[in-house]
């Protein structure tokens, strides 16, 4: 006989009107803790725009404008929490300076702007995610978290949010990253606490969406094999941005970060220098092994650029500073294909117009490109998804523990907001909880 939590899970998979008929919301218990220990603890790693950053300015900070030093010596403040407030306080220019990173070629790593200390807020709390774009409050997994709560998950108990600093890229094993060394250590401690102390050694489910999918994957790949076996039940990657790359990354790099870093009253072009200082800006450029020579990803009257020509493209768009970190960090990622060697489900939307080629015909990279579209989830190209699937399936230790799900007409964002698509994701989480011992 199915247990009470599993009955709730099964009801959750029904369409909303039928679910309300069978189990009206006003009849549901407020305390769903009964039997919640039967569920595997889940750790949610959100998309790029959902984590909140706090900053502290030290004596070493030398602001470009005197007003930018107003908070110097006054402790921690919300640097990237509610970006709609930035223009109100005339803080846009200060924000861009204090968010910027500096590449350190000696350490082959990235650092904060001198005199700026940062930390991620609300670590461990799923309800701590916040969309910075008021036009898209649904971007930060509120519907997923709500569905998990209906399932019997409780924030801070057997459900945890794992925000991160979007500016840095999660490293492949062996790659330097001061920020992620600390972040992964804290993530491991969070998992250990939840799996060992509170839930009868129930292993963890880790779910990452978009850029959070890349963070989740690298977290698992960086963890020792014995630790993975002991603590991880299942890894879900939902619309992950992976090292196979995608063309939208190039558009953001060339023309500015559309929708990724929302700041009221700021144009993509005005945010472009800040965006280019982030390692994130170059980490998902199309991989030559996936995209090849044809078709070119950028077209101009004078020259075309394929995935093999990224260094030349960086120079052409005025970002020569990006060549060394691209060569020393991003290329290594493109050539790293090791599977995480844990049960893995990758869920992508397909059937959407997705940028495949960018045309800057007159060579003016300050103007928006004409876009040639292909197949994908409206952000990630289908060819990248299929290349990742192939990488996983050709490794014997992963092949039997890998599942790829393609949801037709679900987009990069709607895969976790459209009810029918979310229901499919929840069905997979149900299966893991139902099938585990």
CA angle at 64 for the pair 60 and 69, rounded to the nearest 5°: 55
Known catalytic membership, residue 210:
yes
- Choosing from 51, 210, 243, 255, the catalytic residue is 210
Give the closest residue to 145 by CA, choosing from 123, 164, 121, 125: 125
Question: Torsion angle of alpha carbons 31, 35, 40, 46, nearest 10°?
Answer: -10
Known catalytic membership, residue 200:
no
Crossing angle of helices 4-12 and 419-435, rounded to 10° = 150
Strand order in the sheet with 116-120: 77-80, 53-57, 116-120
DSSP calls for 155-180: BTTTEEE----TTSPPPPTT---HHH
Give the closest residue to 37 by CA, choosing from 208, 152, 156: 152
CB 164 within 8 A of CB 219: no
Tokens of 396: 């014997």
- Choosing from 165, 377, 378, 391, the catalytic residue is 377
Known catalytic membership, residue 268:
no
- Choosing from 40, 199, 231, 412, the catalytic residue is 412
Residue listed under structure tokens 């060819």: 383
Crossing angle of helices 142-151 and 4-12, rounded to 10° = 140
Residue 162: Cβ within 10 Å count: 27
Residue listed under structure tokens 């919300």: 78
Parallel, antiparallel, or unpaired: how do β-strands 42-45 and 159-161 relate? parallel
Q: Which residues are catalytic?
A: 210, 377, 412
């Amino acid at each position: 006989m199915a247990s009470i939590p599993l009955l709730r899970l099964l009801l959750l998979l029904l369409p909303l009107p039928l679910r309300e008929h069978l189990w009206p919301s006003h009849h549901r218990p407020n305390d769903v803790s009964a039997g919640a220990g039967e569920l595997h603890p889940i750790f949610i790693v959100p998309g790029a725009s959902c984590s909140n950053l706090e900053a502290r300015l030290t004596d070493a900070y030398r602001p470009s404008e005197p007003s930018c030093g107003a908070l110097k010596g006054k402790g921690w403040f919300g640097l990237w929490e509610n970006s709609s407030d930035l223009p109100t306080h005339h803080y846009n220019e200060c924000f861009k300076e204090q968010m910027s990173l500096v590449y350190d070629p000696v350490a082959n790593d990235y650092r904060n702007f001198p005199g700026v200390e940062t930390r991620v807020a609300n670590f461990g709390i799923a309800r701590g995610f916040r969309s910075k774009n008021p036009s898209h409050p649904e971007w930060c997994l509120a519907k997923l978290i709500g569905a998990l709560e209906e399932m019997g998950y409780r924030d801070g108990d057997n459900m945890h949010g794992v925000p991160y600093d979007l500016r840095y890229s999660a490293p492949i094993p062996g790659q330097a990253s001061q920020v992620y060394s600390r972040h992964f250590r804290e993530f491991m401690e969070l998992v250990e606490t939840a799996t060992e102390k509170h839930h009868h050694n129930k292993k963890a489910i880790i779910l990452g969406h978009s850029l959070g999918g890349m963070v989740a994957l690298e977290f698992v790949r960086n963890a020792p094999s014995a630790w993975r076996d002991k603590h991880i039940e299942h890894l879900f990657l939902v619309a992950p941005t992976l090292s196979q790359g995608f063309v939208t990354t190039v558009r953001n790099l060339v023309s500015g970060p559309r929708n990724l870093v929302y700041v009221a009253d700021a144009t993509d072009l005005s945010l472009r220098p800040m965006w280019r200082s982030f390692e994130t800006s170059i980490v998902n450029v199309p991989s030559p092994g996936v995209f090849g020579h044809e078709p070119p990803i950028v077209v101009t009257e004078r020259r075309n650029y394929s995935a093999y020509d990224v260094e030349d493209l960086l120079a052409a768009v005025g970002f020569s500073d990006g060549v060394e970190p691209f060569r020393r960090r991003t290329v290594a990622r493109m050539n790293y294909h090791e599977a995480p060697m844990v049960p893995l489900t990758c869920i992508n939307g397909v059937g959407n117009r997705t940028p495949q080629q960018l045309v800057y015909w007159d060579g003016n990279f300050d103007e928006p490109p004409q876009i040639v579209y292909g197949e994908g989830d409206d952000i990630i190209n289908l060819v990248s998804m299929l290349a990742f699937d192939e990488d996983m399936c050709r490794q014997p230790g992963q092949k039997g523990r890998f599942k790829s799900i393609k949801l037709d007409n679900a987009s990069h964002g709607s895969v976790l907001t459209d009810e029918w698509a979310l229901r499919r994701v929840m069905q997979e989480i149900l299966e893991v909880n139902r099938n585990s011992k």
